Structure 1
Amino acid sequence: MKEINIFYNALETLPVLASKIKAKQKKIMGYLCSYAPEELIYAAGFHPMRLFSSKSDIVQAEQHLQAYCCSLVRGVLEDSLSGRLDFLDGTVFPHTCDSMQRLSDIWRMNGKYEFFADVILPAKLNTQSARAYMKDVLTGFKKDLEKAAGKEITDTDLQNSIKKFNIIRKNLSKIYALQSKKPGIIKGSDLYTIVKGSMVMDRDEVADILPVIAGNLEKIDLPPKNIKRIVMSGSICDSPDIYSAMESAGGVIVGDDLCTGQRWFEGQTQVDENPMDAIAARLLNRVICPAKHFSPTARGENLVSLAKKNRADGVIFMLLKFCDPHAFDYPYLKEFLEKQGIKTLLIEMDDQQQNSGQLATRFETFIHYI
């Protein structure tokens, strides 16, 4: 499908993509967490871009971060120090894990980019005070963006931004639903590329292309296949090879609980209320990650619901090595799933070191087991 190739082409070389965005007179604001309030960044006239590690060797970052920080944090810092992110005009850090907070400190003290913002959202989301605090933090961030942009961000700007991101989220959800309804309707590597591309490409372009892809997929009549349905859980999954290995083993990803997947685009922002209240409400009510708290069992209940909704044969935990929040969550989530008769597999990954042969063997064994 030629529309999917647009995403592949955009991701081939990030600096080339960045130069095309800058040619449209847009400054680029990098971010490292799905809790970044992208609607505000976009409404200010900036381009929000999710940062991923280029997976280059870690050399300079070793002077700033311990070896037991996750490969995402170390890899992105390495890219910054080595000049591979010099196209950035600023960076936004919603505080999540300890490693990300320390990266924020190093980033700020390095002072390499024009704009920097810590967006310290509440960790506990189920109280009235959390809602008030969330609104205050977003209001402060809005003022920082207005100062950087040299203009006021109006309600009309925000409403237009909300509508744009709602289109993106709606169509990504639709594509995922089609994959769950007719597993294999789209290759996992293509789905991965579309989601990652949607996080870094010009959002106007993404909002135009995604409905076309969703519409084309709807027209495909796919005969039933004897394959195992898998839900993936974790923080990020930044490798198309994982999806290819899964499919070669006889499985297909029909849903995920990833911050580079459904957790990022899940839920619409209301357009019929105060835009700042609406943005805050979505961040408060969306599916949480281990860095946030809604109830002691919220994460487990969501994962079980996701598995049952997608009729999953099993859940695979794809955890970044040294990712403490997800590692602490894993035993409780595994127990929660297995009490419901849902089989699980744990895979620890490192952006810089991936053993594709071992990964394929473990996938094959698990799929045979379930």
Structure 2
Amino acid sequence: MDVQTIVDECLELWRDPYPHLARLREEGEKPLAVFCSYTPEEIIHAAGFTPVRLMGAVRTITYADAHLQTYCCSLARTDLDMALAGELDFLEGAVFVQTCDTMMRLSDIWRRNTDFPFHGDLVLPIRMGEDVSLPFLVEEVHRFRRSVEDYVGEAIWDDALEESIHVYNRNRRLADRLYKLRTTSPGVLDGLSATACLAAGFWMRREKHNEMLHELLEGLDTGGQPGRERTPLLVSGSVCTTPDLVELLQELGADVVDDDLCSGHRYFDNYVDEADTPEEALARRMWGRVNCPAKHQSIEDRVEHLVRQVQDSGAAGVIFYLQSFCEPHLFDVPYLRERLQKELDVPSLVLESELQSFSRGQLRTRLQAFLETISGV
């Protein structure tokens, strides 16, 4: 398959993954929903399920408002709305990670109001990255593994878990190569294509995604001439449910050269140590990776990480793309923007999105104004 065909198929999947997920069930796979990049997907994979990421949808809310307040984020509301409407009946169940208040309450509401066979919860310590929290996290990974074993009625052997860890580590290495191409070989692969090819993996078996990424990377001409010059940008936030943001930036003459998204760079950050015992290794990866704003850690760590990303990628500006009412992310933004301006003289833009009232036209206007500010027009 040629590179453009792979990219086009990934973009189509990113725009609307749900028909594809329904087909997975028809083909004999058992899709199990996850909502968060902290989920130890290797355990789910080793048990024979296909972990799939739910990231909301652009839709009008019909059922969810009876259960979640309108000031809850649209990711939770639209996912719940699809479940209550019966549009996610192809799922085996769902796994919830206790990060923010909305996701913790969504787990309770989901359990009480849906009939999926499996319901899993993962309780993470608030103070991630500190010595005091690691033993708790190891025990929680162990408890989650046992809950999956109880559901399937058989043990998840260490051999199977180690194989899944190997598969996912390969995926992280391939994703890292994919992302680095944008700075090491400018013009070979644009930000829209790279992000789409990473996102597509959320909705397929990891082995298949590995094969796809390998084929894509082997098919790219890294010795080709760079394309026309574009304004390099970095996007920070939680998730990009649709390609609209990156597509619009490309149409306006910019390119996303890196991101700080939990559906992007943060998803594949850090590897699982394959020399360690599986549960300890999975816990250590979560414990040592770049923290989500919903977890307590010195904000200096986030600042230093973001500053380093901007410097390494050569980004001329940062777009904070956030879900409306996402308090953990919104709390961090003023300080992050201030430090980016002071230390790097890099401007930033804050965009808030609601999936139930998404406006591509308004988004385009604000992006165009920001790019004109950067270029001095």
Same fold (TM over 0.5): yes
Partner of residue 293 from structure 1, selected from 296, 300, 313:
296
1:199 & 1:5 partners in 2: Cα distance? Answer: 16
Superposed CA RMSD: 1.8
Residues 1:61 and 2:64 aligned together: yes
2:142 & 2:293 partners in 1: Cα distance? Answer: 25
Count of residues in correspondence between the two structures: 370
Code of the aligned partner of 2:87: R
Q: How does 1:348-359 map to 2 (within 5 A)?
A: 348-359=352-363
Residues 1:368 and 2:372 aligned together: yes
1:154 & 1:237 partners in 2: Cα distance? Answer: 35
1:197 & 1:315 partners in 2: Cα distance? Answer: 24
Following TM superposition, by how much is the alpha carbon of 1:111 offset from its aligned partner in structure 2, in angstroms?
4.2
Closer, same or farther: CA 19–275 of 1 in aligned 2, 3 Å: same
SS at 1:339's partner residue?
helix
Following TM superposition, by how much is the alpha carbon of 1:177 offset from its aligned partner in structure 2, in angstroms?
0.6
Q: How does 1:131-146 map to 2 (within 5 A)?
A: 131-146=134-149
Closer, same or farther: CA 11–358 of 1 in aligned 2, 3 Å: closer
Give the unaligned 5+ runs of structure 2: none
Partner of residue 86 from structure 1, selected from 83, 86, 89:
89
1:111 & 1:362 partners in 2: Cα distance? Answer: 39
1:220 & 1:332 partners in 2: Cα distance? Answer: 40
Give the unaligned 5+ runs of structure 1: none
Residues 1:249 and 2:239 aligned together: no
Following TM superposition, by how much is the alpha carbon of 1:264 offset from its aligned partner in structure 2, in angstroms?
0.6
Give the stretch that moved more between structures: 290-299 or 179-188. 179-188
1:44 & 1:145 partners in 2: Cα distance? Answer: 7
2:185 & 2:250 partners in 1: Cα distance? Answer: 14
Report if the CA contact (8 A) 1:50-1:200 is conserved.
yes
1:306 & 1:150 partners in 2: Cα distance? Answer: 44
Partner of residue 345 from structure 1, selected from 349, 355, 368:
349
Q: How does 1:194-273 map to 2 (within 5 A)?
A: 194-219=197-222, 221-223=224-226, 225-273=228-276
Measured against aligned partners, the alpha-carbon deviations of 1:60-104 in whole angstroms (never above 9, x if no partner) come to 101011111111010000000001111111110011111111111
2:356 & 2:186 partners in 1: Cα distance? Answer: 30
Residues 1:98 and 2:101 aligned together: yes
Aligned to 1:192: 195
1:305 & 1:187 partners in 2: Cα distance? Answer: 21
Code of the aligned partner of 1:80: A
Closer, same or farther: CA 190–224 of 1 in aligned 2, 3 Å: closer
2:267 & 2:172 partners in 1: Cα distance? Answer: 8
Partner of residue 278 from structure 1, selected from 263, 268, 281:
281
Closer, same or farther: CA 358–12 of 1 in aligned 2, 3 Å: closer
Code of the aligned partner of 1:292: K
Following TM superposition, by how much is the alpha carbon of 1:321 offset from its aligned partner in structure 2, in angstroms?
1.0
SS at 1:352's partner residue?
helix
Code of the aligned partner of 1:354: F
Closer, same or farther: CA 167–123 of 1 in aligned 2, 3 Å: same
Following TM superposition, by how much is the alpha carbon of 1:215 offset from its aligned partner in structure 2, in angstroms?
2.1
Report if the CA contact (8 A) 2:192-2:250 is conserved.
no
Partner of residue 116 from structure 2, selected from 110, 113, 116:
113
Partner of residue 40 from structure 1, selected from 21, 27, 43:
43
Percent same amino acid among aligned pairs? 35
The TM-score, its normalising length taken from structure 2, stands at 0.93
Give the stretch that moved more between structures: 242-251 or 113-122. 242-251
Aligned to 1:128: 131
